[in-house]
Chain A
Amino acid sequence: MSDSPKDTDGRHHVESMLMRESLVDREVQRTTETPVFRMLPEAHVIKVGGRSVMDAGRAVVYPVVEALAECLKTKKLIIGTGGGVRSRHVFSIGIDLGLPTGVLAQLAVADSLGNAHILGTLLAPHGVVAIPPEIFGHLLPLFIASAPGVVFNGDPPYSLWEHLPESGRIPPHRSDAGSFLLAECFGCKTFTLIKDVDGLYDRDPRGHAGAQLIREIDTTELRRRGFESLPFERVLIDLLDNARLLRSVQIVNGRHPERISAALEGEHVGTIVHAGHKARV
């Protein structure tokens, strides 16, 4: 320890830019804004809805699988799945038993993992399988270099460490958030959410016949309009605002499977949500 810089107060330091600094200090934080390296710039991340697609059965899932298979011929895909109705069920039982948010988050992984294996089975003829969450993140570049794509449970590995929601106890970071965060960290090319609606509406289209589709919007406008219901996890708004690499998401209707490959080509076929005005890139 003799050659490490030592404070007069007895802390042993390693020489670095952040030595002795409080990482909570706002000025220090400002100095750490550096351009971000993209690990997988050619890969596309797609989140396939649990309730909206996987739970809808063969009539919906098979055409989506076919569309994905078509994309896999020319593109590398990282496909996340949602937990769907089984997650809703385990949430309701868990809440009734008095279990906290972190436990609900831990339980929900099993459902989206089940859906990842279902989708992985159907995509197996194309060389795409579900990867165990324990090795998925670390080995992802290897999988993407060796296979046309992978399937994973879309959830982030927050488990017991899930954040507390503002209201109630449902985990706020579910599979939309997990798939988005992965795409952002690996610097992927696009992020697409496959759901069962054409995109974002001004009101829930399921209960309101006159609901208007919003083709394009940014997060500033989204916050201002305060929609009661969104076709994606609300936390995605914050994640988009803080994103450095992935500054938009597209919501696409899986009932029109031809739109999936169009979206990956950069076409506007659903609702595109952009990060807000405070763009930093």
Chain B
Amino acid sequence: MQNNLLTELGKSLLTGSLDEGRLMAQTGEPPAVQILPEANVVKMGGQSVIDRGRVAVFPLIEEIVENLRRHKMIIGTGAGTRARHAYSVGLDLGLPTGVLSVLGTFVSMQNARMLNYLLAKHGIPFIEPAQFAQLPHYLAERGAVIFFGMPPYIYWHTNPSVGRIPPHRTDTGSYLVSEVFGARSMIFVKDEKGLYTADPKKERGAKFIPKITVAELEQLDLQDVVVERSVLELMRNATHRRSIQIINGLERGNLSRALDGEHVGTIITSD
């Protein structure tokens, strides 16, 4: 095909197979641009933060407001205990994983709406996936936006290999936003200092891990981890967001320090 309008890669893509290894390797160049390099993605835990109500949420709202002029924030919300209820009901009724994903989306949307009203007087909008084209504008104008953390996979959610709970939930949805926009940081606000060798709520002897790579974490083969496993899997192939931090949002000041780039919880890196 004689066509001067196409790059060499373009010509190969029109004729080659998109499942051929060599051709795929060529599609990594030139490197991806960072769409929003100044933005920080902050995921607010569902069960860990929002389900605690005012005691946990109000101080974090204050901290977000204090940071509005200092940092740009794309705030994702978790789902929490109501999603666990909906999943339990759905599993009992035999509903497919894709439908459970729809139910989880509704709960994280409720949480996003609640945060939205608490931040409304600062002009901070809640946007659904269809409104993401306006995200850069809101971020430039107001310094923050809120979205629901569930990725919009709905009926197309992939099955997990074990069990039937949707594997890509609000940690994953928030993380993918940080990666696709080439954001400056990905901060998970939870109710534990970070990653432990076991769930610290159940095991007294669980040891805190301040910093670890995805490969080291896989070696440890932990029964439970503090973020969704699919975040760790996706981090392996990430271009931009090759580190994440998990912090304890119940301690005042941690969010601000994490936004400033300080190490206050567990940092997990791709390598």
Contact = CB atoms under 8 A, between A and B. Distances in A.
Nearest to B99: A185
B132 interface: yes
B14 A34 contact: no
Given A92-B13, A157-B156, A185-B98, A165 B89 contact: no
18 contacts: A11-B52, A15-B85, A17-B92, A18-B84, A20-B201, A23-B87, A32-B165, A88-B14, A98-B33, A158-B151, A160-B177, A160-B180, A161-B176, A164-B238, A168-B24, A170-B24, A229-B20, A242-B159
Contact of A161 (B26, B153, B191, B240): B153
> Chain A, interface size: which category?
35 or more
B108 to A, nearest CB: 13
B26 A168 contact: yes
Interface stretch (A122-130, A233-241, A251-259): A233-241
B155 A186 contact: yes
Interface in B70-90: 81-82, 84-85, 87-89
B90 to A, nearest CB: 9
Interface of A: 1, 9-37, 39, 85, 88-89, 91-93, 95-103, 134, 137, 156-170, 173-174, 178, 181-182, 184-187, 204, 228-230, 232-234, 238-239, 241-245
B87 A36 contact: no
Contact of A22 (B53, B180, B199): B199
A169 B51 contact: no
Quick one: which of A20, A95, A96, A245 has the most chain B CB within 10 A? A95
Interface residues of B, number: 86
Quick one: which of B47, B93, B97 has the most chain A CB within 10 A? B47
A161 B21 contact: no
Contacts of B18: 88, 170, 174, 233
Contacts of B9: 92, 95-96
B28 A181 contact: no
Contact of A26 (B157, B164, B224): B224
